[in-house]
Amino acid sequence: MSNDPYLLITADTHAGGSHEQYREYLDPKYRDRFDEWRGGYKNPSQSHYGSKKMRNWDLEIRNNDQNSQGVVGEVVFPNTVPPFFRESIVTSHPPKPEDYELILAGIRAHNRWLVDFCAEDPDRRAGIGLFLPHDFDEALKDIEFIANAGLRGGVLLPLIPPDCHWLKPLFDPAWDRVFAAIQDHDLVMNQHSGQGSPDYGKSMVGQALWVTEVAWYCQAGFRHLIMGGAFEKFPKLKYILTESGCSWAPELLAQLDRIHMGMSRGAIGELNYGDQQWVLSEPPSYYARQNCWYGASFPSKADLNGINEIGVDKVLWGNDYPHYEGTFPYNLESLRLTFDDVPETLRRKLLGLNAAELYQFDVEKLMPLVEEFGPTPKQVNEPLPRDDIPRDSMCYLFTNALANS
C-alpha cells in the first residue's frame, strides 16, 4: 500500500467577521443603527471564546492551525454574530417580521465579508452564503449574488422551526422558485446541526433539552425536502446535512419508504387520502441516493455503520474548526480512533475526495499542501490506545470513546 499523504478537506468549519469588520461591509444607511445596536450588545459566548475568537477571521492563525492538523481545504459555514443578530447565525432563530429588514442587512454584510475572506486563499476555502426565507424576491437576489461571487460552498438553506408560523415550511410549493434558482446556479444546499429548533428559552433545562432534541429538528430539512417533492421537481439539486452524522439515515429512509408506499396507494391504515395526488414517483430512498450528502463531522466507527446503504460517495468528513466540540488540536488522534481499519480507497473518499467533488475544489492546486502537511496511511493505521485519547478535549468522539471503553 502506498504511503502517499491524504487529501484532507474538512466539510465543516466556521468563520465570521468581527463587529468592526462587519461595519465596513454593512450598507452605509444602516451604520448608525449598527453603532447603536453594537453599543448595547453583549456577546453571551464572550467568556467562553475569549481571545480564541480571532481564529474566525485571522488568515495566519487559521492556516497555521489547519496546517498543523493536516487540513488543506475547508468548507466555511458562518460562526460569529453579524450585525443585528442576537447570537451566532447557525443556531439563531429566524427573525420575526419586524426584525427582518435589519437582519437582512446583517446577512448581506456577512456575505460581502465572506467573499473577501475566501479570496484570501481561494483554493483552500469554499464559503457558504446566506439568505433569508421571508421574501423570496429578496432571497433570489442573494442567491444570484452568492453564485456570481463564486462562493463554491453554496447556500445555507434556512430551516423553518415549527414555532415560526410567519414562514412557509420547506415542503410548501412556494419554495419552488428558490430551489429552481439554486439548481440553475449549480449551488450546494447546506444545512447544519443547530438549525430548525423551536425556542426553548435560555434556562439550563431548556438548553439541555435543545441539545437533546437538536438532531431530530435539524433532520427535518432532510425529511421535508424529500417528502415534499423538491428532488422530484428539481432532480439536479445537491443537498447536504452537516455535523449530523449519517448512521441514522438508513433507518429513517426505510421508514419514509414505508410511508411512501401507503401514500402511493392513497391510505395509511384508517387515514385515507384517495382524493389527493401523491407527489413522489419514486421511493424516498431513491432521492436520497441521487440528491443527498452527509457531513459526518468527526465520526465514530458506529457513525459509519450503514455507509454502504447510503453511498460511499455521499459521506464527508469534517473537523468543526474552530468550535470547542471539534477535533482541533487532536485531528490525527481522531483519525486514528475512527479510520485505522477503514479500507484505503474508502478512507480517501471520506477524508477529502468526496468533498473535493461536491464543492469543486481543484485537487491539483492543493497537492503541494497535501505533500507538506497531509497525514499518511502509516500514521492513520496506528490504532489509538485508550491512554492516548485526549482528556482535555470537548469533542464527543473522544468523550464518548472514554465513557464506552
Task: Specify the residue for cell string 432532510.
Answer: 222
Task: Specify the residue for cell string 468581527.
Answer: 18
Q: 154 pairs with which residues across the strands? A: 128
Q: Mind listing the pLDDT tens digit for each residue in 16-75?
A: 999 999 999 999 999 999 999 988 776 655 554 555 788 999 999 999 999 999 999 999
pLDDT score at 343: 96
Asked whether residue 79 carries a pLDDT value surpassing 70, the answer given is yes
pLDDT score at 51: 59
Q: For residue 201, what is the enclosing H or E element?
A: none
Stretch 340-362: mean pLDDT: 97
Stretch 265-277: mean pLDDT: 88
Percent of the residues in the chain that have a pLDDT greater than 90, as a whole number: 83
Stretch 209-224: mean pLDDT: 92
Asked whether residue 228 carries a pLDDT value surpassing 90, the answer given is yes
pLDDT score at 184: 98
Percent of the residues in the chain that have a pLDDT greater than 70, as a whole number: 97
pLDDT score at 320: 96
Stretch 392-401: mean pLDDT: 95
Say what the pTM is: 0.96
Q: Outline where DSSP puts E strands in 131-254.
A: 154-156, 188-192, 238-242
Task: Collapse the DSSP code of 174 into the 3-class scheme (helix H, G, I; strand E, B; otherwise coil) and give the result.
Answer: helix
pLDDT score at 1: 64
CA distance 307 to 362: 26
pLDDT score at 46: 57
CA distance 379 to 383: 9
- Give the DSSP per-residue string, 73-110: EEEEEE-S--TT-SS-TTTPPPPPGGGHHHHHHHHHHH
Amino acid sitting at position 262: G
Q: Which is higher by pLDDT, 291 or 82?
A: 291
CA distance 180 to 131: 15
pLDDT level of residue 77 (50, 70, 90 thresholds): very high
Please, what are the domains in the chain?
9-404 (3.20.20.140)
Asked whether residue 102 carries a pLDDT value surpassing 90, the answer given is yes
Residue 191: Cβ within 10 Å count: 27
